[in-house]
């Protein structure tokens, strides 16, 4: 009997670890649209930190306390550097990872048939954990059945959130929450990152999207394939530099979809070397963009 109990406890502990890992994959996929296999590194940080403090002579309670503080500092630092991987929004995509980037504008494309039956908190201003597409439908900037680009602006702490029913979406009331966002209706573009792509954006979305690339510093980080026309998993800002639409100083550009093409050549332009690709069977329709550099000089069409 003792062995059976031990096996049950051990099995439950192992299952809990697997469940925790699965939960992490799910939350990250819903929030950012990517799978993150670096969870082990995040778990190792507090584990080795605690071993370090214990080895240094700290009592167990102090080592635990110091580990918690260090983990929270690391978490806040990572949150402040969160990047937008793709413009595509899923049913559960929210803005929680951008909580510490107050004032930042972010653009997402909500697919036509996304499930908007989600828990949304607030009216006009929403908790950053509220799914963006459901909140967009509630706010009236997204109509279910039509793929639409929406832009949010990150805001700070709010003491309370009111419930309401709008556009067939019922939001919930909530108390104090630290991260919030609201929707921009002025047409101001969202700021993307240098590795942001249009991968997995709804196939029926054909409207141009204007975006802003931040300054890149000395070099542009991100992969790009082709020239003038680029596949959707090319980094938008890097493609913009390659095409001459913007410089490493950043700037605004507009991305639109064009007809699918069979191959993408490798060409060096503006100190950016694109990569070659010639397998249309596994490539979704490429995009093309035009734009204006931050200095206000018109750029060539196509990016």
Greatest mean pLDDT among 11-20, 35-44, 106-115, 222-231: 106-115
Q: Is the pLDDT of residue 179 over 80?
A: yes
Of the candidate ranges 31-35, 51-55, 109-113, 209-213, the one whose mean pLDDT is the lowest: 31-35
Q: Is the pLDDT of residue 175 over 50?
A: yes
Greatest mean pLDDT among 6-20, 26-40, 121-135, 261-275: 121-135
Are residue 207 and residue 295 in the same domain, yes or no? Answer: yes
- Is residue 10 one of the residues assigned to a domain? yes
Are residue 166 and residue 252 in the same domain, yes or no? Answer: no
Q: Which of 24, 48, 80 is the last residue of a domain?
A: 80
- Is residue 87 one of the residues assigned to a domain? no
Are residue 102 and residue 204 in the same domain, yes or no? Answer: no
Average pLDDT score, the chain: 84
Q: Tokens 């002579």 appear where?
A: 57
> C-alpha distances in angstroms, 172 versus 97, 151, 166, 180, 242?
21, 22, 12, 14, 46
What CATH number is associated with residue 236?
2.170.130.20
Q: Which of 183, 204, 221 is the last residue of a domain?
A: 183
Residue 117 is predicted with a pLDDT of 95
Strand pairing class (169-170; 165-166): antiparallel
Are residue 75 and residue 105 in the same domain, yes or no? Answer: no
Query: What's the rounded mean pLDDT across residues 44-54?
Result: 83
The pLDDT confidence band at residue 295, using thresholds 50, 70 and 90, is very low
- Is residue 130 one of the residues assigned to a domain? yes
Q: Which of 15, 49, 80 is the last residue of a domain?
A: 80
More confident residue, 241 or 283: 241
- Is residue 49 one of the residues assigned to a domain? yes
Q: 122: Cβ–Cβ under 8 A, 6 or more apart, which residues?
A: 130, 135, 158, 161, 162, 171, 174, 180
Q: What is the pTM of this model?
A: 0.74
Are residue 270 and residue 295 in the same domain, yes or no? Answer: yes
Are residue 241 and residue 167 in the same domain, yes or no? Answer: no
CB 167 within 8 A of CB 188: no
Are residue 173 and residue 247 in the same domain, yes or no? Answer: no
Residue 109 belongs to domain spanning: 96-183
- Is residue 265 one of the residues assigned to a domain? yes
Are residue 204 and residue 110 in the same domain, yes or no? Answer: no
Q: Is the pLDDT of residue 76 over 70?
A: no
The pLDDT confidence band at residue 57, using thresholds 50, 70 and 90, is confident
Are residue 215 and residue 296 in the same domain, yes or no? Answer: yes
Residue 277 is predicted with a pLDDT of 83
Are residue 64 and residue 100 in the same domain, yes or no? Answer: no
- Is residue 241 one of the residues assigned to a domain? yes
- Is residue 86 one of the residues assigned to a domain? no
Whole-angstrom distance, CA of residue 167 vs CA of residue 96 = 24
- Is residue 91 one of the residues assigned to a domain? no
Residue 285 is predicted with a pLDDT of 42
Are residue 201 and residue 301 in the same domain, yes or no? Answer: yes
Whole-angstrom distance, CA of residue 21 vs CA of residue 227 = 40
Are residue 178 and residue 280 in the same domain, yes or no? Answer: no
For 151, other C-beta atoms within 10 Å of its C-beta total: 22
> C-alpha distances in angstroms, 14 versus 21, 40, 50?
11, 15, 22
The pLDDT confidence band at residue 257, using thresholds 50, 70 and 90, is confident
When divided into structural domains, the chain yields a total of: 3
For 31, other C-beta atoms within 10 Å of its C-beta total: 22
Residue 28 is predicted with a pLDDT of 62
Of the candidate ranges 37-51, 125-139, 265-279, the one whose mean pLDDT is the lowest: 37-51
Q: Is the pLDDT of residue 31 over 80?
A: no
Residue 289 is predicted with a pLDDT of 44
> C-alpha distances in angstroms, 247 versus 75, 150, 210, 229?
32, 26, 16, 18
């Amino acid at each position: 009997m003792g062995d059976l109990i031990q096996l049950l406890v051990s099995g439950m502990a192992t299952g809990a670890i697997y469940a925790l890992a699965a939960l992490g994959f799910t939350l990250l996929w819903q929030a950012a649209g990517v799978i993150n296999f670096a969870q082990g590194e995040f778990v190792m940080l507090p584990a080795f930190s605690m071993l370090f403090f214990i080895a240094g002579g700290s009592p167990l309670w102090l080592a635990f306390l110091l580990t918690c503080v260090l983990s929270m500092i690391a978490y806040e630092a990572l949150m402040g550097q969160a990047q937008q991987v793709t413009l595509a929004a899923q049913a559960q995509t929210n803005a929680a990872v951008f909580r510490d980037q107050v004032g930042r504008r972010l653009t997402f494309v909500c697919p036509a048939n996304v499930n908007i039956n989600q828990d949304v908190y607030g009216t006009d201003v929403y908790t950053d954990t509220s799914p963006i597409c459901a909140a967009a439908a509630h706010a009236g900037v997204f109509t279910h059945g039509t793929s639409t680009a929406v832009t949010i602006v990150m805001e700070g702490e709010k003491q309370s959130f009111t419930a309401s029913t709008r556009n067939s979406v019922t939001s919930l009331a909530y108390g104090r929450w630290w991260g919030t966002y609201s929707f921009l209706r002025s047409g101001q573009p969202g700021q993307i990152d240098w590795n942001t792509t249009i991968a997995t954006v709804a196939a029926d979305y054909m409207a141009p999207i204007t975006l802003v690339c931040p300054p890149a510093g000395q070099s542009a980080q991100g992969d790009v394939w082709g020239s003038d026309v680029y596949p959707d998993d090319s980094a938008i800002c890097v493609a913009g530099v390659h095409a001459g639409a913007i410089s490493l100083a950043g700037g605004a550009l507009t991305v639109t979809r064009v007809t699918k093409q069979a191959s993408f050549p490798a060409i060096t332009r503006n100190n950016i070397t694109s990569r070659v690709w010639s397998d249309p069977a596994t490539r979704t329709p490429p995009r093309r963009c035009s734009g204006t550099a931050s200095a206000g000089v018109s750029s060539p069409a196509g990016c």
